[in-house]
Structure 1
Amino acid sequence: MTEARRHHPLTMVLKLWKLAKFSFVIAMYLFVIKYGSDSTFLKYGRIAFFLFVGGAVLVILLKWLTHKYKLDGASFHLYEGVFTKSARTIPLAKIQNVNRRTTLFHRLCNVTSIRFETGLTGEEAAVEFEVISLAEADAMEKHAASPVPDDEPEAVQNGEAAAELQASAAHPRRTVHFKPTRKDIVRASFTSLSFLLLIPLLASAYSKIDQIFHVEREAKGLFSILKDSWWIAAILIVVLVAASVAFGMIRTFVKYGKYEISSDPERIYITKGMVDETVFSIAKQRVQAVEITQSVLKRLLGVAEVKLTSAGGLGDGEDKLEISSLYPFLPVQRAYEMISEMLPAYEVTREMNRLPGKSLWIRMLRPSWLWILSTAALFYFKPRLLGFEQTWWVVSGALLIWIFVSRWLDFTNTRYVLKDNFIQFQTGSLTTALFVSKREKIIEVKVTRSLFQKWLGLASVGTINRAKPVRHAGIDDAPAELAESFVKWYMGRRKEIKVE
């Protein structure tokens, strides 16, 4: 791509749609709910609304006219700014992950969106195209995965080359490791407790409808009928339970029905979503660590969640949590097998060392500021429950018991192992997390010892991996022998470290 070019014209349409969704509630209030009002506040509010929408539309148009991009053999070049111009250069070598998302809007227009995450920091660390043609997205992703020297012919904008890249998008070398079955979908719907979401959604919808149409009187009449007729109430409860289960299954199927985990020799691919399709890929060499987590319910059902730690960003908010996860409800045995299949450079062992008995004593005797402060507050306010005056000390005692149980569970679940150039930590009380990383991926280690730990021959060890934010892992109250061997083990990194 020898010349800078503007983003896809449909980018303006997408941003106008987002503006319309943002403005809808305000417009409903100003022009529908308060239609007949002559309030001065509403009068100027409507004028301000028109000015805001008009200004936003103008900014969208100006941004499309002024924002351009160019891709050469080694970097992305981004040119932005309406009044103040700026230029950014993102080296392709810094790209860690690629995230593609195809919403219903993109499907209807036969386009997609693509985001290249880097290991850099700051808000402008990622290169994102909200709307881009499928052929160009394929060409960009292929080019970013294997950049070519600047003096070679550019293929990103060439029609035949783009067609070739799109034809090769099937990735015949990919190995599919997991696709959820119907049994997996049903198990996921109950494990995620998504069936419980229907009731709060109905309550929220009722609240919003009542604000507009004032249906509270009719609702009170319906509640009185249900109160007087037990069989109608029973039927309604059965229907509500069935609807909740069906809602949970449908929601889980839409979210995970088209899930696929695959890999080729260089990258791992995660595809999910029936309506909004997301395709996430990460180079295997960019994986900094692997984490296997299990809640109490997941342990009972024999499933686990496998997460990847990457130096690059993984999106924002909920998307970030979902993208980093291979699949939240993998059968445990399959989870261990998949890690070995996709990441042969990583080794996960179930044979791990437990903490010595003295670690339990120091945990039990360690002061709990949560219990101390809570007890002080309860003693001061002395709340009553069902008229019982001594509620405060009952609650304080129950909290203390729970803290002891939690510490005992954490002690029981804590494991560790140093094996060749790998390290594994398992921690957690109700929810356990198994952390696995390679020595060459760890950028810093830490060993600390309190006075009591020194007396008992214990220490706390920790690691830091590159991520956004940085990933901390470690265990407390480990044997001092582990701390010594841990430091020596990490010093061996000098022979393995490679400058990226």
Structure 2
Amino acid sequence: MIPAKRYNPLLMIFQLMNLIKNSIFFVVFLFVIKAGSDSAFIKYGKVIFILAFVITFISIIIKWFTTKYAFDNKSFYLYKGVFSKSERSIPFSKIQNINRHTALFHRIFRVTSISFETGIKGDDAAVKFEVVSRIEADRMEAQLSSTVHIDLPSIQESDANMETFPPEEDDSKVSSTRVMHFKPTKKDTLKASFTSFSFLLLIPLIASLYFKINDIFHVEEEAEGVISEIFSSWWLVFGIIIFLVVASAAFGIVSTFLKYGKYEISSDVNRIYITKGVINETSFSISKEKVQAIEIKQTILKRLFGLAEVKLTSAGSLDFGEDKHEINSLYPYLPIKRAYEIVSDILPTYKVTEKMVRLPKTSLWVRLLWPSWIWILTAAVLYYFKPIILNMEQAWWIITAILLVVIGIARLLDFLHTRYVLNDCFVQFKKGSLTTTLFISKREKVIEVKVSRNIIQKLLGLASITTINRAKPVYYAGVEDVPQEVTNEFCKWYKGRSGEIKVE
């Protein structure tokens, strides 16, 4: 029997701090804003809040005493309960990703949090350690790495700027050579701060803070004379505008640096490693064998700056706390050419084909003539109410016409951007109007394909093709309005998967 042990005692302090943080609003409302209220609702609310706080605090202590864990060279073992005990085992072979998150609390106490994500659905999809010593976290990762071994081709250094990490020794004597693929420069951080529009967050943040303070201390009544005096002087208004512009730019750069500072993309033979954050550090690790697909996204602004975001699709969950849906990204602001290079360097078994097949002109007419329910419903509502805007009685049909033109332009752009290619054992789909997405997957990672045709597509000899990959939730990708003959080629291509799949 493997000896089980309790979680780190600092877990109780961590959960208590989260309890206090979540209780601040109720404390301010019940004991500060409504401190002198005689309302029965407030009185009972205070009692209920105190009872809930005490019960939650006691449950934190009881939970720490009644939950334990253990791990060997095959699985994690989790134990909980006093009178009704339960035991759960998670084999290492089911683990898809490893996520680390080091917040300010963890930095102060020199600990970290780590999550081992599986492909299982539900609340038990991950083995999470909210507070664990760094040595213990390293031991877990080392044990997992030494047990779940994946044979992949070695990575060749294809860039002169790549940096090789020396082997790191741990308790299990497992060593690996990591290759550094990307570190953002100051120029990259500046581009990221402007393309992410993070500089626009300062003014809403100040406004939100002002309204919250005003609700408590009624600042607006006290400062009414000061505000009117400021607006009466043009040079004060001009100075405030200049200050806000400079402060917003500085805020955008600083917030982007805090979020994406110390960003590193590296890999070894078996895994991909992504780390980011200055104050709150987040580390994401995924086995190369578990990567189901790759997405390369470009918004209209990123296309103007020649940037792109590369995302990894995995069968496991790709979120940890506040970083939900972000930690699987290979830096959201990569130069497009560098993005293609990094994909080839990190996943040498994947190939990005830049030359793709365009849709036939017939599919453009299908897209333009296909009815838009958004336009139909909007036009019906505007026709019924006929609102008068800017003293224009016929404004409703002008808005309807503009909306129809916008929808038409969006569909035209989507037609121009949509492309596809079946390249040996790979499939690529590209589509989108303002934001384009390039989807790349290997045939062995596609678990199902689908071919569909509506009435108009049947008349014009067109069809829609779709691939399905394992993910959480299941990931669908495809292209609409391809020629009918492509569907036969698509199905024949998928049948070739039988000689490539590996049974786990």
TM range (shorter): over 0.9
Contact preservation (8 Å) 2:142, 2:171: no
Residues 1:82 and 1:42: Cα distance change in structure 2 (over 3 Å): farther
Q: Is the 8 A contact 2:93 2:148 kept in 1?
A: no
Q: Partners in 1 of 2:137 and 2:89 — Cα distance?
A: 19
Q: Whole-Å Cα distance in 2 between the matches of residues 340 and 191 of structure 1?
A: 25
The reply to whether residue 165 of structure 1 matches residue 170 of structure 2 is yes
* Segment drifting more, 326-335 vs 312-321: 312-321
After alignment, is 308-317 or 274-283 more displaced?
A: 308-317
Aligned to 2:460: 456
Q: In 2, Cα distance between the equivalents of 1:399 and 1:301?
A: 28
Tell me the equivalent position of 1:423: 427
Give the Cα separation in 2 of the matches to 1:460 and 1:494: 23
Query: Matches of 1:114 and 1:309 in 2, distance apart?
Result: 20
The two structures have a TM-score, normalised by structure 2, of 0.94
Q: Compute the displacement of 1:172 (Å).
A: 5.8
Q: Residue in 2 aligned with 1:208?
A: 212
Establish whether residue 306 from structure 1 lines up as the match of residue 316 from structure 2. no
Instruction: Tell whether the 8 Å contact from 1:63 to 1:82 is kept in structure 2 after alignment.
Output: no
Corresponding residue of 2:281: 277
User: Which digits, 9 at most, give the CA deviation of each residue in 1:173-209, with x for residues without a partner?
Assistant: 1000000000000000000000000010001100110
- Structure-1 residue corresponding to 2:44: 44
The letter of the residue matching 1:439 is R
Aligned to 2:369: 365
1:18-48 per-residue CA deviation (whole Å, 9 max, x = no partner) reads: 0011111211222222333343333222222
Superposed CA RMSD: 1.7
1:258 match: 262
Paired with 2:172 and 2:333, the residues of 1 have a C-alpha distance of 33
Report what 1:337 is aligned to.
341
Distance 2:259 2:40 in 1: 47
SS in 2 for 1:68: strand
Q: Given that residues 294 and 304 in structure 1 are in contact (C-alpha distance below 8 angstroms), is that contact kept between their aligned partners in structure 2?
A: yes
Distance 2:279 2:185 in 1: 18
Counterpart residue number, 2:441: 437
Pick which of 30-39 and 308-317 moved more. 30-39
1:199 to 184, 198, 203: 203
- State TM-score, norm by structure 1: 0.94
Aligned counterparts of 2:243 and 2:81: Cα–Cα separation in 1: 56
Structure 1 partner of 2:161: none
Q: Distance in 1 between matches of 2:279 and 2:317?
A: 24
Give me the whole-angstrom Cα distance separating, in 1, the residues matched to 2:447 and 2:322. 27
1:29 is paired with a residue of what secondary structure? helix
Whole-angstrom CA distance in 1 between matches of 2:228 and 2:392:
33
Please list every run of 5 or more consecutive structure 1 residues that lacks an aligned counterpart in the other structure.
150-162
Is the alpha carbon distance of 1:96 and 1:35 closer, same or farther for their aligned partners in structure 2, counting shifts above 3 Å? same
C-alpha separation in 2, matches of 1:358 and 1:82:
68
Q: Distance in 2 between matches of 1:415 and 1:444?
A: 20
After TM superposition, list the pairs within 5 Å mapping 1:52-201 onto structure 2. Answer: 52-81=52-81, 84-147=84-147, 164-165=169-170, 173-201=177-205
CA 36–168 in structure 1, closer or farther in 2 if over 3 Å, else same:
farther
For residues 277 and 169 of structure 2, the distance between their equivalents in structure 1, rounded to whole angstroms, comes to 26
Alignment of 1:215-234 (within 5 A): 215-234=219-238
**Distance across 2 between alignment mates of 1:84 and 1:275:** 41
Equivalents in 2 of 1:473, 1:345: separation in Å? 20
- SS of alignment partner, residue 37 of structure 1: coil
Partner of 1:157: none
Q: Is the 8 A contact 1:96 1:117 kept in 2?
A: yes
Per-residue CA deviations over 1:249-292 (Å, capped at 9, x if unaligned) read 00001111110000001000000000010110000010000000
Q: How far did residue 460 of structure 1 move?
A: 0.2
1:344 counterpart letter in structure 2? P
**1:285-324 counterparts in 2 under 5 A?**
285-315=289-319, 319-324=323-328
Where 2:227 maps in the other structure, the secondary structure is helix
TM-superposed CA distance for 1:347, in Å, is: 0.2
Contact 2:142 2:172 in 1 (8 A): no
Matched-pair contact (CA < 8 Å) for 2:99–2:320: no
Q: Distance in 1 between matches of 2:180 and 2:362?
A: 46
Instruction: Note closer, same or farther for the CA distance 1:394–1:72 as it changes in structure 2 (3 Å cut).
Output: same
Counterparts of residues 10-25 of structure 1 (less than 5 Å): 10-25=10-25
Quick one: structure 1 residues 21 and 289, their matched pair in 2 at CA, closer, same or farther if it must change by over 3 Å? Answer: same
Tell me the alpha carbon deviations over residues 388-409 of structure 1, each in whole angstroms, 9 at most, x when there is no partner: 1111111110111011101100
Preserved CA contact (<8 Å) 1:364 1:404: yes
Provide the secondary structure at the position in 2 that maps to 1:90.
Answer: strand
Aligned to 1:4: 4
Identity, in percent, stands at 58
**Quick one: which amino acid aligns to residue 136 of structure 1?**
E
